[in-house]
Amino acid sequence: MNLVLFDLDNTLLSGDSDFEWAQFLIAKGVLDREVQEARNAAFYEQYKAGTLDIFEFLDFQLAPLARHPRTQLDAWHREFMEHSVRPMMGDPARALVHKHLAAGDLVAVVTATNSFVTGPIVREFGIPHLVATIAAQENGQFTGKARGTPAFKAGKIERVESWLESLGLHLGSFERSWFYSDSHNDLPLMKRVSHPVAVDPDEKLAAHAAANGWTVTSLRA
């Protein structure tokens, strides 16, 4: 059995679910457009630049979850899936996931985006495992905080190792392992697998991939 890990935003998706979720809530009037849109855009630019303070961002991104009943959040997410997410799920990404699943690989999405936003997306792809930043809950309601280590930068290694440990495995258990990502923020985990793949990479990742002979591909339709 081989291990296959996928980043989600701008890798399997042709966009960023974290960013789009905030934009969706702004469009619904749930978040104040004047204040929140500027902050959302600023955090996204910091992420692309590699300067994002993940804890500051999570305070911003998870706070709205604590203000509304779970039933309302789930209803909004269903609408979000239909109008924002499914258009970002291209056929090449679906086909690549299917290829690895059909081969019997152990497949997971590893993403910094929180588990509430990403869980339904990952299930839509048919991927059985999700390693995401955990949106903490108490009695079925979100607290507005993250639980444990965010799955971001080197935190992805810690979270993947913990997940594999729960299965009685570790990264060295596999003859071959893949991690598909678009972002230089994922270089720590990409360097730990035998087959790192740069998917529609940002400038920094593209340069690193070229210098190290990594595979570069596109999943854009």
Active site residues: 7, 9
pLDDT in tens, 25-83: 999 999 889 888 889 899 999 998 999 999 999 988 899 999 999 999 999 999 999 99
**Residue 13 DSSP label:** B
Give just the sign of the alpha carbon dihedral 206, 207, 213, 214.
negative
Q: CA triplet 60, 129, 215: central angle to 5 degrees?
A: 90
Which CATH number do you get for residue 8?
Answer: 3.40.50.1000
Of the candidates 73, 58, 57, the one whose C-alpha atom is nearest the C-alpha of residue 24 is 73
Q: Which helix (H) or strand (E) holds 134?
A: strand 129-138
What is the domain range of residue 171?
3-217
Ranges of residues in the chain whose predicted pLDDT is under 70: none
For the whole model, what pTM was predicted?
A: 0.95
Distances in Å between the Cα of 81 and the Cα atoms of 78, 84, 88, 118, 141 are: 5, 6, 10, 10, 21
- What residues contact 200, with CB distance under 8 A and at least 6 apart? 10, 11, 182, 217, 218, 219, 220
Instruction: Say how many domains are in the chain.
Output: 1
